[in-house]
């Protein structure tokens, strides 16, 4: 069977890190005897320059064809003067999420043991193992989209309104993604709500409890969002998978990412019913683009997420993750990770990609 992958390198460091990710994927193909077919297409600023549109029809066709989409990064100073709705991020990423109803955003926050010192947490809190948390955020509902929304006049006063709405089917489908993810990990799930004050969150908790009946192996607990934000800092090891609605997930995933201390290491996945999009958390990093020094690990770990979530190739995904961990243990560091310590060796984007591919 051939697995179809749309490759959208984008702008800035996007093409540089994508090249290393494909190198790793080629190695996975050889080692695990799976075949990938890649089709590359323009996205973001480079698509605006070539086609006058950040998400051109040719790119839509490639994405429609694919089982999974690998996305580098888009944007940069060249396109910042365009009207907001034409700018690469808004005109490329949002339409893709909408077109494929990518309702589930998965953001792992991983501190590799070799990079513990990058975390702002104290070593007493972190221990010597680092941590590995997956935040599953609902991406297409909740208070960011609920109606009515707007600034209205009432009795001569202005009133700003956002509406927090969740339908049971929206909660059920994101909860299933989170439970499925927990089954592929340590089988512990923390569902985040504010059921003590928000009625929509009472429903959230009820539906999560219903879904839990289909996953008896997963240990479920419920936390209020304010407590969860404290617990993340107090002891991140208590979390495996965190499930949250759109706004709480937005905030907690950034908090968890910050605890890792290294943006060049963080992958993400956005999943729909039919396909997934995999991209690093970082942007196009115009300040270092073209210098060959970007850290390709976030893009490479996004490939690992694709293997796990779109293609159910758990062993291959783990091989990629442990290859990344191994090169870090050996002291290889791109410029963003390099501290000049004994045992560290500064490497380029390409050298990092080569080393990871070799270790698979």
194 tagged catalytic: yes
Shortest distance (Å) from residue 41 CB to ligand NAD: 15
User: Which of 23, 194, 275, 308 is labelled catalytic?
Assistant: 194
For the record, the structure tokens of 312 come out as: 């159910």
226 tagged catalytic: yes
| Cβ within 8 Å of residue 191, ≥6 positions away | 175, 178, 204, 205, 208, 220, 221, 222, 223, 243, 244
For the record, the structure tokens of 286 come out as: 């115009």
User: Which of 250, 275, 278, 308 is labelled catalytic?
Assistant: 250
193 tagged catalytic: no
Nearer to ligand NAD, 73 or 116 (CB): 73
Shortest distance (Å) from residue 99 CB to ligand NAD: 16
DSSP letter assigned to residue 330: T
Shortest distance (Å) from residue 315 CB to ligand NAD: 26
Nearer to ligand NAD, 200 or 284 (CB): 284
For the record, the structure tokens of 88 come out as: 């690469």
Distances (CA, A) of 64 to 6, 37, 51, 306, 309: 9, 14, 19, 16, 18
**Distance between CA atoms of 279 and 323, rounded to whole angstroms?**
19
Nearer to ligand NAD, 97 or 187 (CB): 97
Helix (H, G, I), strand (E, B) or coil at 316: helix
Catalog residues that contact ligand NAD under the rule CB under 6 A.
Answer: 13, 17, 73-76, 89, 93, 263-264, 279, 282-288, 294-295, 298, 336
329 tagged catalytic: no
**Distance between CA atoms of 337 and 295, rounded to whole angstroms?**
8
Contact 66, 5 (CB under 8 A): yes
The residue sitting closest to ligand NAD, measured at its beta carbon, is: 283
Shortest distance (Å) from residue 8 CB to ligand NAD: 10
Nearer to ligand NAD, 185 or 346 (CB): 346
Q: List active site positions.
A: 144, 194, 226, 250, 254
């Amino acid at each position: 069977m051939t697995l179809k992958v749309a490759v959208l390198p984008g702008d800035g460091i996007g093409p540089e890190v994508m090249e290393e990710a494909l190198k790793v994927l080629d190695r996975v193909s050889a080692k695990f005897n799976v075949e990938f077919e890649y089709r590359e297409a323009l996205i973001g600023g480079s698509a605006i320059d070539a086609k006058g549109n950040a998400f051109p029809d040719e790119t839509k066709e490639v994405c429609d064809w694919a089982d999974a989409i690998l996305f580098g990064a888009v944007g940069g100073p060249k396109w910042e003067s365009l009207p907001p709705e034409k700018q690469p991020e808004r005109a490329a990423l949002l339409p893709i999420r909408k077109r494929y109803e990518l309702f589930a955003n998965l953001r792992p926050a991983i501190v590799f043991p070799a990079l513990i010192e990058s975390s702002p947490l104290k070593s007493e809190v972190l221990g010597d193992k680092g941590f590995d948390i997956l935040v599953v955020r609902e991406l297409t509902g909740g208070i960011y989209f609920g109606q009515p929304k707007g600034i209205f006049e009432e009795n001569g006063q202005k009133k700003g309104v956002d509406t927090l709405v969740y339908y049971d089917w929206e909660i059920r489908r994101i909860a299933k993604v989170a439970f499925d993810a927990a089954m592929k990990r340590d089988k512990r799930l923390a569902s985040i709500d504010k059921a003590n004050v928000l009625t929509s969150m009472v429903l959230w908790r009820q539906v999560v409890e219903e879904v839990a009946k289909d996953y008896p192996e997963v240990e479920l607990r419920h936390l209020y969002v304010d407590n969860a934000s404290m617990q993340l800092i107090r002891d991140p090891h208590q979390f495996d998978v965190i499930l949250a609605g759109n706004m709480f997930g937005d905030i907690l995933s950034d908090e968890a990412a910050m605890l890792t201390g290294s943006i060049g290491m963080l992958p993400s996945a956005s999943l729909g019913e039919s396909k997934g999009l995999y991209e690093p958390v970082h942007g196009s990093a115009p300040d270092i683009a073209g210098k060959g020094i970007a850290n390709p690990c976030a893009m490479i770990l996004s490939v690992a997420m694709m293997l796990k979530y779109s293609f159910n190739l758990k062993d291959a995904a783990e091989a990629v993750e442990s290859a990344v961990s191994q090169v870090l243990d050996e002291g290889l560091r791109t410029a963003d990770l390099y501290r000049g310590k004994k045992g560290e060796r500064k490497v380029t984007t390409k050298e990092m990609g080569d080393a990871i591919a070799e270790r698979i």
